[in-house]
């Protein structure tokens, strides 16, 4: 109705950095309680380990603390369920009505979740370091090779991304995440049994799990090594880096694929 | 046959247009080569029966649903190609709105939405929120459908978009809120150059606001025109009849409703007045009254008439 | 801008813009709007009546064509200074009469019967008004 109104302004989609930061604050607001619980459990476990290791020069605190990786993997698998709570493909209309490209919106949300996951992991480890310091093992902690930490981070990221792909694509992701967890934890446990299925498998398909590019290497090698009391200072990246990167790429691709699923409402 | 009597609806530089838009859900065809044309600055009433495809069409414009064939053009943008850019210029109130059932307060949710629109006007948003009594401190999961719908109204209007897509926006509102929403909408139209597409059954509110309309039947646009063109072509005739009355066959197709009594009939007929009056006379009746119809009634008559193949 | 009480009836067969025009003429005829007075802004009128502002604009445009109002760019719409309430009343009287005649015809009442009825009611209305001390409009 304004006769002197300017020519309709050409509006742009939301800038990526704004959309990304908004996803970050939204997920932080929605999931901080779960994140805090993870940090709390992690810290409590570290405190327990510290008390068992204290005064016992043979056992390494840092090695055991790296073993907390299994808890991180557990959280990494479940965290996408929190990130995508009430955002099943059918409920996602609102996220998708915003002026952000659909694929981008999903990617930003997954990325924000990853950022918070790793942030929580770093905080948890800082607490672990403080606990180490109180029992005089801080030096042990800092002697751990940077690559070991990186292996943990990448392992957690891989499991998180696969979990995200599940949450993005599935109406009821819970059961599939359980399947993922089974994949992460069960085979190594089964390997301890002499008659286990994995030993019975022909060498061919086993490389996916066991081999140099195997899933186990990518996600849990650091843990395995720690539990075998290997000297972490000698941890070589060549051992796990190919697997890590390989599975990281696969996990990211899975997220990309999952985001292509459109559900007509 | 009816549509032939209206001059063809040609719009150059439409704000919104669909070309051969087709959408199937399983075996059911929801949109069948639909060709919609909405002029810039128009208030376009999208009418049609339940399940006629109105919501689907709007969702296609928002790129929430992909058509099986055809394309749409929203303010010069193809939503399938550049959905984000299109949505930056659209205010959308969905049918059956709901909010994700989390514990975040509506105020936070609004902040989140607001950040995505560069043209968001916070002062205007506050005005709207107060007028519609949206409970900002309430967590999303305990908000009622009415509150959710009012929230969506604010989200749609506050960034003053050049295009408003409203899908049954009054359906969940109580009388007072509906009235407030109408007032806000008219105010909005008066201050901002907006094109509006309103899909609704609530012809009462729509008829006072719309200047264009389109009727969607079985996935196609049976009729699209300016509302005053429709009103020029539709009249109610009261005709006194007697024993010698022969219902004129010429009027058969063009009659939208008929109420036949013993001595008087009342028909709503589509077509030029002189032509219809002559037909009644030829049939032996005496036309006692000719009346134009109010917009809502005219639309209702057209919607009710079945099988009027355009 | 003083608020003006206006109403439109969606069920009325008259197009909405005609109803708006009639409302303004009514305001001028009854003195609610004096010559030179500002007319409700398009925005206010649309909001009050819950109608499309373009319809109000159309009505004001028609009234401008009839030389009843004038649009002053940037200031708003005003009743023309040379508008006479008397002349407007005549126009309104015609509209009312037309409506009454149609109604009569529709109900099978002849013109003569209608005139008789009008006179009878006016007379009794006059005596009522006089007894309650109201001033009669000429």
Residue B114 falls in which region: left (phi positive, over 0), alpha (psi -120 to 50) or beta = alpha
- What does the domain layout of chain B look like in residue ranges? 14-218, 233-304
> Which residues are within 8 A (CB) of C86 and not within 5 positions of it... i.e. 6 or more apart?
none
Block residue for tokens 């006479």: C84
Tell me the per-residue pLDDT of A153-180, one tens digit each, with 9 for 90 and over.
Answer: 888 999 999 999 988 888 787 888 888 8
Q: Kindly write down the DSSP assignment for every residue of B32-88, as one continuous string.
A: EEE--EE-TT-EEEEEE-TTSSHHHHHHHHTTSS--SEEEEEETTB-TTT-HHHHHH
Per the CB < 8 Å rule, is B187 touching C46? yes
B-chain CB neighbours of C52 within 8 Å are 43, 186, 189, 208-211
Bridge partners for B18 per DSSP = B72
Block residue for tokens 């204290």: A54
- Is residue B269 classed as helix, strand or coil in its secondary structure? strand
Q: Which value does ipTM take for this structure?
A: 0.85
A4 CB within 8 Å of a chain B CB: no
- Report chain B residues touching chain C, CB-CB < 8 A: 41, 43, 179, 182-183, 186-187, 189-191, 204-205, 207-211, 228, 231, 238, 288-289, 291-297
Check residue B272 and give its pLDDT.
Answer: 86
Check residue C23 and give its pLDDT.
Answer: 93
CB contacts under 8 A, C 94-123 vs A, are none
Q: Over 60: is that where the pLDDT of A200 sits?
A: no
Separation CA A33–CA A52 (nearest Å): 29
- In 3D, which of A81, A47, A78, A76 has the Cα closest to residue A64? A47
Per the CB < 8 Å rule, is C52 touching B189? yes
- What does the domain layout of chain C look like in residue ranges? 16-79, 85-132
pTM of the model: 0.87
CATH among 1.10.10.10, 1.20.950.20, 3.90.226.10, 3.40.50.2020 for C16-79: 1.10.10.10
Per the CB < 8 Å rule, is A9 touching B119? yes
Check residue B98 and give its pLDDT.
Answer: 80
Tell me the per-residue pLDDT of B41-95, one tens digit each, with 9 for 90 and over.
Answer: 999 999 998 877 899 999 999 999 899 999 999 999 999 999 999 999 999 999 8
Let me know: does B65 contact B59? Beta carbons within 8 Å: yes
CATH architecture of B233-304: 2-Layer Sandwich (3.30)
A19 CB within 8 Å of a chain B CB: yes
A257 is written with which tokens?
A: 């694929």
Tell me the per-residue pLDDT of B150-187, one tens digit each, with 9 for 90 and over.
Answer: 999 999 999 999 999 999 999 989 999 999 999 999 99
Bridging pattern class, strands B16-25 and B234-240: unpaired
Give the sign of the dihedral formed by CA C94, CA C97, CA C103, CA C107. Answer: negative
Q: Which chains touch C (3 or more CB pairs under 8 A)?
A: A, B
Looking at the domain covering B14-218, what would its CATH class be? alpha beta
Q: What is the pLDDT along chain C (138 residues), one digit of tens a residue?
A: 567 889 999 888 889 999 999 999 999 999 898 898 899 999 999 999 999 999 999 999 999 999 899 988 888 899 988 888 888 899 899 988 988 998 888 888 899 999 999 999 999 887 776 766 655 554
Cβ-Cβ pairs closer than 8 A, A with C, add up to 5
Q: Which of B208, B291, B292 sits opposite C10 (nearest CB)?
A: B208
- Is residue A257 classed as helix, strand or coil in its secondary structure? helix
């Amino acid at each position: 109705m304004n006769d002197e109104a300017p020519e309709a302004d050409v509006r742009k989609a939301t800038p990526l950095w704004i959309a990304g930061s908004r996803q970050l604050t939204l997920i932080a607001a929605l999931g901080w309680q779960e994140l805090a619980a993870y940090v709390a459990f992690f810290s409590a476990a570290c405190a327990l380990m510290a008390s068992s290791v204290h005064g016992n020069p043979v056992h390494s605190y840092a090695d055991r603390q790296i073993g907390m990786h299994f808890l991180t993997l557990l959280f990494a698998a479940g965290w996408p369920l929190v990130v995508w709570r009430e955002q099943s493909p059918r409920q996602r209309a609102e996220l998708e009505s915003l002026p952000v490209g659909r694929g981008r919106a999903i990617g930003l949300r997954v990325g924000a979740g990853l950022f918070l996951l790793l942030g929580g992991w770093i905080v948890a480890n800082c607490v672990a370091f403080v606990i180490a310091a109180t029992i005089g093992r801080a030096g042990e902690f800092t002697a751990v090779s940077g690559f070991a930490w990186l292996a943990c981070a990448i392992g957690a990221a891989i499991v998180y991304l696969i979990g995200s792909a599940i949450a993005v694509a599935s109406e009821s992701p819970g059961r599939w995440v359980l399947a993922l967890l089974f994949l992460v934890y069960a085979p190594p446990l089964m390997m301890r049994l002499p008659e286990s299925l994995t030993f019975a498998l022909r060498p061919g398909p086993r490389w996916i799990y066991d081999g140099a590019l195997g899933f186990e290497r990518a996600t849990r090698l650091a843990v395995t090594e720690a539990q075998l009391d290997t000297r972490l200072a000698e941890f070589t990246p060549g051992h796990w880096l190919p697997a890590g990167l390989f599975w990281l790429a696969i996990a990211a691709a899975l997220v990309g694929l999952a985001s292509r699923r459109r559900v007509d409402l | 046959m009816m549509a032939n009597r209206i001059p063809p609806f040609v719009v150059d530089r439409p704000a919104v247009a669909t070309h051969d838009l087709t959408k199937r859900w399983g075996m059911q065809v929801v949109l069948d080569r639909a060709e919609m044309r909405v002029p810039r600055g128009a208030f376009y009433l999208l009418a049609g029966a339940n399940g006629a495809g109105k919501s689907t069409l709007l969702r296609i414009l928002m790129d929430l649903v992909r058509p099986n064939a055809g394309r749409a053009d929203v303010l010069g943008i193809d939503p399938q190609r550049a959905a984000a850019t299109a949505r930056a210029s659209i205010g959308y109130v969905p049918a059956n709105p709901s909010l994700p059932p989390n514990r975040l307060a509506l105020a936070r949710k609004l902040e989140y939405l607001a950040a995505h629109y560069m043209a968001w006007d916070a002062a205007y948003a506050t005005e709207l929120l107060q007028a519609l009594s949206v409970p900002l401190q309430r967590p999303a999961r305990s908000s009622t459908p009415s509150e959710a719908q009012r929230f969506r109204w604010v989200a749609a209007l506050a960034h003053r978009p050049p295009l408003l897509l409203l899908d049954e926006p009054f359906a969940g509102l109580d009388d007072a809120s509906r009235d407030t929403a109408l007032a806000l909408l008219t105010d909005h139209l008066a201050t901002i150059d907006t094109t509006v597409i309103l899909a609704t059954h609530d012809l009462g509110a729509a008829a006072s606001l719309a200047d264009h309309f389109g009727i969607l039947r079985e996935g196609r646009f049976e009729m699209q025109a300016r509302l005053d063109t429709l009103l020029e072509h539709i009249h109610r005739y009261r005709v006194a009849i007697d024993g010698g009355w022969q219902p004129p066959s010429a009027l058969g197709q063009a009659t939208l409703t008929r109420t036949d009594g013993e001595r008087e009939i009342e028909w709503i007929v589509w077509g030029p007045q002189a032509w219809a009056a002559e037909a009644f006379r030829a049939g032996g009746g005496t036309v006692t009254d000719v009346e134009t119809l109010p917009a809502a009634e005219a639309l209702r008559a057209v919607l009710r008439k079945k099988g009027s193949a355009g | 801008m003083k608020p003006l009480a206006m109403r439109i009836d969606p069920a009325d067969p008259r197009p909405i813009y005609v109803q708006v025009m009639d409302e303004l003429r009514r305001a001028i005829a009854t003195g609610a709007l004096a010559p030179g007075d500002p007319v409700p802004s398009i925005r206010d009128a649309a909001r009050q009546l819950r109608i499309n502002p373009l319809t109000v604009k159309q009505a004001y445009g028609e009234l401008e064509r009839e030389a009843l109002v004038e649009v002053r760019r940037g200031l708003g719409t005003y009743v023309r200074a040379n508008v006479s309430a008397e002349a407007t009343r005549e126009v309104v009287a015609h509209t009312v009469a037309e409506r009454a005649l149609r109604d009569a015809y529709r109900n099978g009442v002849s013109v003569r019967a209608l005139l008789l009825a009008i006179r009878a009611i006016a007379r009794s209305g006059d005596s009522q008004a006089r007894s309650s001390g109201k001033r009669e409009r000429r």
